[in-house]
Amino acid sequence: MLKLLSSSCLQSRTHHLTPSLLPGLRAATESTQPLLRVLNSLRGLSWKNPNFGGRVFFCSDSSDGSEKTAEVEVKTAESEVEEAEAKASSAIVSTNPRLEDYLTVLALPLPHRPLFPGFYMPIYVKDPKLLAALQESRKRQAPYAGAFLLKDEPDSDPNIVSGSEAEKNVYDLKGKELFNRLHEVGTLAQISSIQGDQVTLIGHRRLRITEMVREDPLTVKVDHLKDKPYNKDDDVIKATSFEVISTLRDVLKTSSLWRDHVMTYTQHIGDFTFPRLADFGAAISGGNKLQCQEVLEELDVYKRLKLTLELVKKEMEISKIQESIAKAIEEKISSEQRRYLLNEQLKAIKKELGLETDDKTALTAKFRERIEPKREKCPPHVLQVIDEELTKLQLLEASSSEFNVTRNYLDWLTALPWGDYSDENFDVIRAEKILDEDHYGLTDVKERILEFIAVGKLRGTSQGKIICLSGPPGVGKTSIGRSIARALDRKFFRFSVGGLADVAEIKGHRRTYIGAMPGKMVQCLKSVGTANPLVLIDEIDKLGRGHGGDPASALLELLDPEQNANFLDHYLDVPIDLSKVLFVCTANVVETIPNPLLDRMEVISIAGYITDEKMHIARDYLEKSTREACGIKPEQVEVTDSALLALIENYCREAGVRNLQKHIEKIYRKIALKLVRQGETNEPAVASVHILEPHQSKVEDVESGQDTAERNDNIPESLEISSSEQVSESSVEVNTVQTELPADQTQNPVDESTDLKGANETEEIQESEGTKTVEKVLVDEESLTDFVGKPVFHAERIYDQTPVGVVMGLAWTAMGGSTLYIETTHVEQGEGKAALHLTGQLGEVMKESAQIAHTVARAILLEKEPDNPFLANSKLHLHVPAGATPKDGPSAGCTMITSLLSLAMKKPVKKDLAMTGEVTLTGKILPIGGVKEKTIAARRSDVKTIIFPSANRRDFDELALNVKEGLDVHFVDDYSQIFNLAFSDD
C-alpha cells in the first residue's frame, strides 16, 4: 500500500525542504482537521508552480510490497556545490522540450505496485547498463523513464507474496522476455535522484507501450494517455467523489497514519480534481497490484472513481476488522491491569478520605461471608455481639493491639458451628454390628449404647449424655469411644485431662491476656464443625489441682446436663449450647473422681477380660492387625492355641489386652527377622535354605537350652540361600536352630546356648538330597519362651491342699483380680501373751481388719471349743505373701478369721476353697467390690468353691455364663456359715 511520509520522516532525511515550504509542511503535519475540510482548502499549488521541484510525493516500497513510509527527496542547503547538484537532479526541467515530446523512454519494471501520477517511488535497479542509461539521461537533462508494472508468472497466484528467489528472477529479466512481462499501461516517471542502485521516481502521467525499440537496456515507444472528458457538474460523479471522501474520513478515524499521510499530501498536491482524488484513493488503499493497475489503466473518470470507491470501502471493512481485533486483544490483556489499577486508585481515594481499609475491609468481608450462611440458625445474642465487634473493628487502627484482639475474637466467633448439627444414624442393627466388629465382649457397654440409640430413634432427636467408662488400663475404653462415634455417625474429638491443673484449659482465658485462647470445648467445636459431636474426655480420674484453680470443679458446668445448655467460655463470653454433645469419660479408678463430678456421670464398669475373651481378641483382632503391620502373610506363620493360652496365663494376666498386644508384636517382629535372615520375603516364591552338609537329613527336636548347646556343633555356620527349589506339601515338623535372641532378652538366666535355640523354632522342612525348604514358622507352647522369654507369672496356686493356718483369699487390683494366701503361724505361748504381729506391707484398713479378725476369731473359738485357750495365750504372726506389693482394703476380714481358726483348731480348710468379705465385730459379712475380677482370679487358680457376701449375689448373677460355669458359689450373711463351709468334715 502507498503511504504518505510523515513530518518526522521529512526531518530525518539528508535532503531537506526548501525554506519556503517548511512552514506549510509543519502546519500540515500538526493539523487535525477532517479530510473533507482539508481537501476543500486545497489551493495555490499547481503544475506551473515554481516550487514544483520541492513537492512531496507518495510512493510504494518496491522491496517487499508492504506499506512503507515514503521518503522525501528535496534540496539541501549544506553547501553551495550540493545545492547546485540538487537543483540539477531534482527539479523538473522546463517544458522545452515538453512532456508530450518524450515518446521513446527507458522501461523500468515495477515488481509490486504501479506508480500513480503525483506519487513517488524508490526502486532498485540491478542491471548496470540500465543504471548507466538512467544516469546518462539525467545528464542530458532528459530525466524521464517509463515505469510499468510486471505481470505475474502464468502459474502463480497474485495474492501470494513472492519470496526472495522470485524477486531475484525479476531482476534477471531482460530484453524481449522483460517486454512480454510488462503491462501496457504505465506511468511517465521523473528520475528524481540516483543513490547507488536506488532510483527515486516521481509519476507524472499515464503511458501506453506501442512497440519495443531496444532490448538492452529495454527501450520502448509510448503514447501519452489523457483522461476522457467528463462533466465536472455531473451529480453522479460528485456523489461518487463525496462517497470516496466520506469513506476516507471514516477510515481516518481508525488510522492515525493515514491521517498524517493525507495532511502532508494535501499541502503539496495540485488543484483538487476528481481524477486526482481517484488516483489518491487507489494509491493509499490496501488493494492488490492488479486492482491498482486496473485503476491506472481506466481513463474514464467516473469508472475510475467507482473502482477507487470499491478499494476504499474494502479498506474500511479491513479497518473495522482491525479495530475489533485490537479491541478484543486489548480487553483480554488489560482486564487484570485495569482491575489492579482501579483497586490501587480505590485504595488511594479511601486513604485520602480517611477510610483506611485495605486489610480491615477484607477482614470484615471475610467475617460477614463466614457468618452469613449461619445467620438464621445463630442465636440472636451471638449475632448482636458479632455485629458490635465488626463495627468496632472498623473504628480501630490496624496497628493497635486492640485490633488484633478483636480480629482473633471475631475469627473464633464466626468459625463456630452455630446451630449446625450432623445427621445421626439411629439404626440399632448397624450400630450393633459396628460395635461387635471393633470389640469382643463388653456386653453391658454395648447394651447401654444401643439403649441410647433406641431412645434417640423414638424421640426423633438425641440428647447429650455423660457416660463414664471405668476399668483397668488396656480394656479398650478409648477405642470404645471411637466405635460409639462411628456407630452414631457423629464427629469424634478426644482430649485428655490427665494431670490438667489449669482451669483455663477448660473454661478459656480472658481476652485481655496475651496469647489468650478459648477452652478445649470451643476448640473442639471449631475442629469438628458440628454442634453435636462425641467428645471423649480421657483420664478424668487423674485431674490435677494447681494454683490455677480446680479443674474438676470447672468440669461441672461442662458435664452438667442442666447447665451445659448455656456453657460460658471465658474467651468467647457468650453462652454456647452443649446439650446435644455426647460426652464419654474414661477412668481407671472411680474412687478418685470428685463426688460432685461423679454424680453427673453414668458409670459403666469394664472389669476386664477373662481368658476365653482374651483368646478371641488375640486371635481375631490383635494377631491379624499385628501380622499385617509386620508384612507377614498368613500362610507363613502359625500360632497355636496352646501358645496363645500360655502367653495369656503366664505373661499377660492383666485385665486389659495392651500387654498381650505388645507380646504378640514381639513374637511377630522376631518371626519377621527370622524370615528375612532366611531370605524369606513377601514374594510368591518361597526361598529355601540349602545346608552344606548333604548327609545331615534331619534335625531332632531340641527341648532345652542345654540340648541346644550340645547340638550346636551339628548346625552349619553358613547357609546358602536358594530360591529355585519350591515348597513341598509333604514336610516334617522339626525344631531348628537358626538365630540368637535380641540383646533385650536378658531375663533368661541360661547361658548363650539357650539364645542359640533362637526365635524360629518349629518349621516345616522338605528333605531332598540335602536340601531343606522353610515353609511355615510354627509358634507353640514349647517354643514360646524363645520368642518372649521366660514366664513372668507363675501359678498363683502354691498349695494343692492348703496346710493348717493358710487360707486362699480373693483380691481386686488395678490390673484385675488375683488370689492371695493369708498365712498364720504360732510364735510363742504363755499365759496372757495373746498378741498378733502383721507383715506383708499392709495398709491401715487391712491392719484394722486383722485386729477385728483376731477379736472375732477368739470369740468364735470360745464358742466352738470352750476348752481351747490357744488364741488367748498365743503370740501369732499373720503374713500376706508378695510382701513387695502394697495391700489394703477390708475384704480380707473373713479370710483372716478362717486362717486364725485353722491354726487354733489345727485343722486345714476345705480343698479348692477361696473367700472374700468384710467382717464386723459381731461376725456379720458385708459386701465387697470387684466380684467379676475376683471370680476370674478364682477360675485362673482352679478354685471350685467361692464364698461371697449375700449382698453381692446380684453382682454375680450379672456375670456372663462362661465366667460362672463350673463354680460352686456360696453367699453368706454371717461368719458361722463360712465356718461350716470351711471346716466341714466332707
Assigned domain for 98 exists: yes
Residue 352 CA to residue 346 CA, distance in Å, equals 10
Report for 181-190, 825-834, 974-983: range of highest mean pLDDT? 974-983
**CATH number of the domain residue 780 falls in:** 1.10.8.60
Segment 553-605, tens digit of pLDDT: 888 888 888 888 888 889 988 988 888 888 999 998 888 888 888 888 888 88
Are both 953 and 850 inside the same structural domain? yes
The predicted pLDDT at position 210 comes to 84
Of the three residues 588, 605, 622, the one that is the final residue of a domain is: 605
Assigned domain for 575 exists: yes
Segment 246-297, tens digit of pLDDT: 877 777 776 666 665 565 555 545 556 778 777 777 777 767 778 788 888 7
Q: What is the mean pLDDT of residues 763-782?
A: 57
Residue 187 CA to residue 121 CA, distance in Å, equals 11
Are both 813 and 923 inside the same structural domain? yes
Report for 4-13, 397-406, 732-741, 962-971: range of highest mean pLDDT? 962-971
Assigned domain for 404 exists: yes
CA contacts within 13 A on the Cβ side of 918: 16
* pLDDT range class, residue 693, cuts 50, 70, 90: very low
Residue that is written with C-alpha cell 553547501 in the block? 79
Residue that is written with C-alpha cell 495532511 in the block? 263
State how beta strands 688-691 and 637-639 pair. unpaired
- Active-site amino acid positions: 891, 934
pTM of the predicted protein model: 0.52
* pLDDT range class, residue 85, cuts 50, 70, 90: very low
The answer to whether 219 and 106 have CB atoms below 8 angstroms apart is yes
- Domain boundaries, position 930: 806-983
* pLDDT range class, residue 355, cuts 50, 70, 90: low
The predicted pLDDT at position 897 comes to 94
φ/ψ of 964, rounded to 5, equals -85, -10
Which residues share a beta bridge with 220? 105, 212
Is the pLDDT confidence value at 690 over 60?
Answer: no
Q: What is the mean pLDDT of residues 744-767?
A: 37
* pLDDT range class, residue 796, cuts 50, 70, 90: low
Are both 496 and 581 inside the same structural domain? yes
Annotated binding-site residue? 380: no
Segment 174-223, tens digit of pLDDT: 777 778 788 888 888 888 888 888 888 888 888 888 888 887 788 888 88
Segment 905-916, tens digit of pLDDT: 999 998 889 999
Residue 141 CA to residue 153 CA, distance in Å, equals 36
Is the pLDDT confidence value at 620 over 80?
Answer: yes
Residue 40 CA to residue 533 CA, distance in Å, equals 88
**CATH number of the domain residue 542 falls in:** 3.40.50.300
Annotated binding-site residue? 474: yes
Assigned domain for 837 exists: yes
Assigned domain for 315 exists: no
Assigned domain for 311 exists: no
Give percent above pLDDT 90 in the chain: 14
CA contacts within 13 A on the Cβ side of 21: 25
Are both 675 and 739 inside the same structural domain? yes
Q: Outline where DSSP puts E strands in 196-277.
A: 198-214, 219-224
Of the three residues 203, 224, 245, the one that is the final residue of a domain is: 224
Residue 982 CA to residue 906 CA, distance in Å, equals 13
The answer to whether 690 and 716 have CB atoms below 8 angstroms apart is no
Annotated binding-site residue? 460: no
The predicted pLDDT at position 734 comes to 33
Report for 457-471, 609-623, 798-812, 918-932: range of highest mean pLDDT? 918-932
Q: What is the mean pLDDT of residues 477-500?
A: 89
Residue 645 CA to residue 791 CA, distance in Å, equals 12
Are both 850 and 951 inside the same structural domain? yes
Q: What is residue 873's three-state secondary structure?
A: helix
Give the total number of structural domains in the chain.
Answer: 5
Annotated binding-site residue? 684: no
**CATH number of the domain residue 206 falls in:** 2.30.130.40
Query: For 986, which DSSP code?
Result: -
Assigned domain for 123 exists: yes
Are both 885 and 960 inside the same structural domain? yes
* Mean pLDDT (the chain, rounded): 75
Residue 209 CA to residue 225 CA, distance in Å, equals 10
Annotated binding-site residue? 626: no
Residue that is written with C-alpha cell 524508490 in the block? 122
Assigned domain for 318 exists: no
Are both 842 and 742 inside the same structural domain? no
Closest CA to 822 of 751, 891, 878: 878
Is the pLDDT confidence value at 899 over 90?
Answer: yes
Are both 524 and 616 inside the same structural domain? no
Nine cell digits for residue 329: 486483544
**CATH number of the domain residue 914 falls in:** 3.30.230.10
The predicted pLDDT at position 795 comes to 65
State how beta strands 968-972 and 945-949 pair. parallel
Are both 86 and 62 inside the same structural domain? yes
Residue 657 CA to residue 619 CA, distance in Å, equals 12
Is the pLDDT confidence value at 34 over 60?
Answer: no
Are both 79 and 204 inside the same structural domain? yes
Are both 835 and 778 inside the same structural domain? no
The predicted pLDDT at position 22 comes to 34
Residue that is written with C-alpha cell 481476652 in the block? 511
Of the three residues 415, 441, 460, the one that is the final residue of a domain is: 415
Segment 934-971, tens digit of pLDDT: 888 888 788 889 999 999 999 899 887 888 888 999 99
Annotated binding-site residue? 471: yes
Closest CA to 289 of 150, 486, 133, 403: 150
Are both 395 and 455 inside the same structural domain? no
Segment 631-653, tens digit of pLDDT: 888 888 989 999 998 898 888 87
The predicted pLDDT at position 311 comes to 83
Is the pLDDT confidence value at 53 over 60?
Answer: no
Q: How far is CA 789 from CA 160, 326, 648, 671, 779, in A?
A: 95, 86, 14, 14, 13
Q: What share of the chain is helix, strand, coil (3-state, %, to 5)?
A: 45, 15, 40
Q: What is the mean pLDDT of residues 843-868?
A: 92
Residue 816 CA to residue 808 CA, distance in Å, equals 17
Closest CA to 895 of 811, 789, 777: 811
